[in-house]
Chains A and B, each alone.
Chain A
Amino acid sequence: MQLSYSALLIGGSAGLATALATPAIAAAPGVMDVTISIPRLKVAEYHKPYIAFWVEKPGASAKTVAVWYDHDMKANEGTKWLRDVRQWWRASGRSLTFPANGITGATRAPGTHKISFTRAQLGALAPGQYTLLIEASREVGGREVLRIPFTWPGKAGAGGRAVGTTELGTVSVSFR
């Protein structure tokens, strides 16, 4: 663990991922991969949803790991609707400034997307029980929150999933 963390400092996250993928190091997995499907909805007016990913642990402050929103509008106008991702807004969003380097990005189209988080991005997690929350809020549409409990450090391989019914499809977590 100590060794791989040094690798991160020296070689960057790509180096870390490579190092961890090599069985010879035998370190605990250090990357969380999240696969998320955004359903295609047959509605008169469709806008790609705002989606926030954050990590919670009882007794600790929530850590936002990714936010997909209209980040490139003039005068930062897309930030006006961030509060509609309201559980995340309360847990963490309202204390951030936007755009947030390494956290915020563009909204994604319907389909399956993969996003990965290193230990550092996840907030340098101490070993324990956590929950990854995924909340989607769509302009002129609905809102849905999914929760995926996980243990850190996780075992390599599949690490939990949740299935949405309205605004989100399947979200699954794996570790490497």
Chain B
Amino acid sequence: MNRKILGFAATVALAAIAVVPASAHRQWMLPSSTVLSGDDVWVTVDAAVSNDLFYFEHQPLRLDAVKAWAPDGTETAIENKATGRYRSTFDVHLTQKGTWRIASVSDGLMGSYDLGGKTERLPRGTTTANLAERLPAGATNVKTAESNNRNEIFVTVGEPTTTLFKPTGKGIELAPVTHPNDLIAGETASFQFLLDGKPAAGLSVTVIPGGIRYRNQLGEINLKTDSQGKVEVNWTEAGMYWLNVTTPQTERAEGATGEPPLQRRASYATTLEVLAP
């Protein structure tokens, strides 16, 4: 009996790990500045996966998928990459005036198939593009659900621009009602979130101020996007904030057994700097 329960718990735990990559910890990128002036401008970014914000104390963020885009949309290399035990770091040379994007985007396919009377899980790294080659011959009852994760930050040299906010139409994306590099304590900012290019109602938005290590309460703000995909955030204090958006997930009924139903998942994370007035 005991063994059976344990076995079941282990299966559920394994399923959770496979389905929700890295959701137990917080992924973040922290730029040295978000509002910049000058003629030869650089930004250094720390990138990590951790519990407390913004302390690198658990895992470095892998830089394989990190890219930068100049205000005119051209892709730019990140430089001086290094990955340490707890933190990655890199630089971006901001050679154009305007708003830059630095992002790590990953798209995947979760799911399962039947083969030889057994249900198998799709291997990690499966995407819409490589699904066909990853499926073994004879696989039947193929079930898939897309997952899109976007972790991005914005930095601005001179005047904020919005050319970069043209949506790709995949996963959760930010449409700036208030520009993310124009945030001031004492003001209210409005952001719109798109899912697959369309304003998405009912997304969960969590905003957490940095500096968690030195306070007892998390102090998070929990919001839901309205019918137009919008949320309003009232910035009471200056500082660095982590903002996370996820698609709502249906909770399983207590005592439910078997495979959890496949659900389309998307997540979004960004780091916002709120300046003192």
A89 adjacent to B35 (CB under 8 Å): yes
The count of residues in chain B whose C-beta lies closer than 8 Å to any C-beta of chain A is 16
Q: Mark B39-64, 1 if CB is under 8 A from A, else 0.
A: 11100000000000000000000000
Docked complex: B6-57 residues within 8 A CB-CB of A: 33, 35-41
Using a CB–CB cutoff of 8 Å, the interface residues on chain A facing chain B are 75-77, 79-83, 86-87, 89-90, 93-95
Bound together, the chains give a CA A79 to CA B38 distance in angstroms of 4
Beyond A94-B158, A95-B158, A95-B159, whether A86 also contacts B39 by CB under 8 A is: no
| Subset of 6 A-B contacts with CB under 8 Å | A76-B39, A79-B38, A82-B37, A90-B275, A94-B35, A94-B159
B158: A residues at CB distance < 8 A: 94-95
B275: A residues at CB distance < 8 A: 86, 90
Bound together, the chains give a CA A22 to CA B39 distance in angstroms of 46
A-B interface pairs (CB < 8 A), number: 39
* Prevailing SS type, chain B contact patch: loop
Across chains A and B, which 8 residue pairs bring their CB atoms closest together, nearest first?
A80-B38, A83-B37, A82-B37, A79-B38, A76-B39, A94-B159, A94-B158, A95-B159
Bound together, the chains give a CA A83 to CA B155 distance in angstroms of 13
Question: Closest Cβ of chain B: how far from A86's Cβ, in Å?
Answer: 6
A95: B residues at CB distance < 8 A: 158-159
Question: Closest Cβ of chain A: how far from B262's Cβ, in Å?
Answer: 46
A82: B residues at CB distance < 8 A: 37-38
A76 adjacent to B184 (CB under 8 Å): no
List 13 additional A-B contacts (Cβ < 8 Å) besides A82-B38, A83-B35, A89-B35. Answer: A76-B38, A79-B38, A80-B38, A80-B41, A81-B37, A82-B37, A83-B37, A87-B277, A90-B182, A90-B275, A93-B37, A94-B35, A94-B158
